[in-house]
Amino acid sequence: MSPDQILAELSERRRQDLPTHGGRTLAYVYDSGLAAADEIGRQALAMYASANGLDPTAFPSLLSMEADLVAFARTHLHAGDAVVGTVTSGGTESILLAVQTARDAARVERPAMVVPSTIHAAFAKAAHYFGVELVAVPVGAEHRADVAAMTETIDRLGDRVVLVAASTPSYAHGVIDPIEELAAVTRERGLRLHVDACIGGWILPWMPDAAPWDFAVPGVTSISVDLHKYAYTPKGVSLLLHADAGLRRPQFFAYADWPGYTMLNSTMQSTKSGGPLAAAWAVVRLIGSEGYRELVEHTLTGTRALAEGIEAIDHLHLVERPDTSLVVVGTDDAVDVFTISDLMLDRGWFVQPQMRFGDEPANLHLTISAATADSVPEFLTALREAVAEAAVAGPVRIDPALAEAAATLDPDTLDDEAFDGLLALAGLAGGDGQVAVPDRLGPVNALVDVAPPRVREALMVAFLDRLTR
Ligand SMILES: Cc1ncc(COP(=O)(O)O)c(C=O)c1O
């Protein structure tokens, strides 16, 4: 194929995706609205796409750019000279490494980590990969970590605890956990405390009234901050910072006992593209501290306007008052979030349904970026219309027999054929087992929502398995 044909085909395929720019996709992507930042990021990404972060002596420019990014973060996260950092590929990798490092430093049998139930799913993945038990403690008022309950759990588990973690803010509810209080508990017991600031860590430094949450708090031993979120850099960049080099040491891996090069890695990837790191370096330099302050002010002004507007719409309420730029919306029984989400997509807006959790009904998650803040009135108009239409349609009705079956299934007893049948019943596959994603996900989501988490997981894995065959 010619370059022109290839680019035309890429553009054609790209049209199937959600838009990454324009501020109308309120999850997954972050848009500064600054064309110059996007352009410099793209250029740096291309310039460094083939550079390999595997060996810092062969590609010293990557090492120096990593140092610059860590230095920039340190000045904004009240970090002293002892704080060290690593650039990783994303929030999940930063979290995986924080957990692996804590586990390997402690070397205890049956290691456990104590977290609020609102902690990001990446911690469950780390628990799964590294054999660390995830002990999730129900949250307290306003969906914030319950320090008394976490302390009780920490003391009950005793020496098994290798890590305590909390969020600033949590993805699901957008609220900040009480880091100072938790740090007092972990410090007294000599435990590691990881602050998951993946989504808030490039907002909070420019919020003068935020309660202390970073290295200003004695006892915080590591922090994850994603640059591919509110630093508005291309995808593939997060920072994992440790309070000192000793705490970080088990993160590094070296292997010399084979006939090839001595493998020496600071992250899970070995060969890694220099592109995302160079792009992040370029975008952070272009926007700069003052630029981020302006973006944060703009984003938070937009978030407040959006939250107020939502409160004024019939059938909707805020699940919590947003602490930063994440808004979580609940509904009354006259409408359902899955239908609203479909109707918003019809109007060119992506909002993310979050399934029920325990006693809490499903809700809608909105991540506000600077570009979304430019179009709050349009968003509210679309939402008002979508909710009115959803109220006329009424909530998705699920066949009670199907709901009962979904709620009581034991996924461990099901074979491939049974999953094919279930996927077809849920509207995600034809009778031949070929998966087919319907245009309207509302009815599928509403059915999946009544299934308990274990069933949902098994169903989604079966779906992905078929999707990728
Ligand atoms: C609080 C928090 N932690 C971790 C993550 C995981 O980050 P990633 O998707 O970059 O792996 C996210 C992503 O939204 C997040 O919001």
CATH number at residue 327: 3.90.1150.10
pLDDT above 70: residue 40: yes
Distances (CA, A) of 89 to 69, 144, 269, 401: 14, 28, 8, 44
Same domain, 294 and 353: yes
Same domain, 338 and 301: yes
Same domain, 154 and 248: yes
CA atoms of 121 and 145, how far apart (whole Å):
16
Amino acid at 442: G
Chain-centroid distance, C-alpha 349: 20
Enter the tokens of residue 150: 């976490």
Is the beta carbon of 326 within 6 A of some atom in ligand 1?
no
Enter the tokens of residue 413: 């007893």
pLDDT at residue number 123: 99
Domain assignment present for 277: no
Best residue among 198, 204, 228, 328 to mutate for probing ligand 1, ranked by most atoms within 8 Å of CB: 198
Residue 169 CA: nearest ligand 1 atom is 1
Would you mind telling me the total number of residues written for the chain in this entry? 469
Same domain, 80 and 102: yes
Residues above pLDDT 90, as percent of the chain:
88
Q: Give the domain extent around 74.
A: 52-272
CA geometry: angle at 368 spanning 282 and 288, to 5°?
25
pLDDT at residue number 315: 98
- Total domains in the chain come to 3
| Other C-beta atoms lying within 10 Å of the C-beta of residue 457 | 12
Cα 386 to ligand 1 centroid, rounded to whole Å: 28
Same domain, 349 and 385: yes
Amino acid at 173: H
Same domain, 85 and 143: yes
Same domain, 259 and 224: yes
Chain-centroid distance, C-alpha 83: 24
Same domain, 126 and 194: yes
pLDDT at residue number 432: 74
**Final residue belonging to a domain, choices 393, 413, 447:** 393
pLDDT above 70: residue 306: yes
**Final residue belonging to a domain, choices 348, 378, 393:** 393
pLDDT at residue number 407: 83
CB 115 within 8 A of CB 165: yes
Same domain, 331 and 404: no
Distances (CA, A) of 257 to 254, 261, 263: 9, 9, 9
Q: Whose CA is nearest to atom 8 of ligand 1?
A: 91
Cα 312 to ligand 1 centroid, rounded to whole Å: 30
Same domain, 216 and 319: no
Torsion of CA 168, 169, 175, 180, to 10 degrees: 0
For the chain, the average pLDDT equals: 96
Give the burial string for 131-157 (b: 16+ CB within 10 Å, else e): ebebbbbebbeebbbbbeebbebbeeb
Same domain, 377 and 447: no
Same domain, 263 and 135: yes
**Final residue belonging to a domain, choices 393, 422, 452:** 393
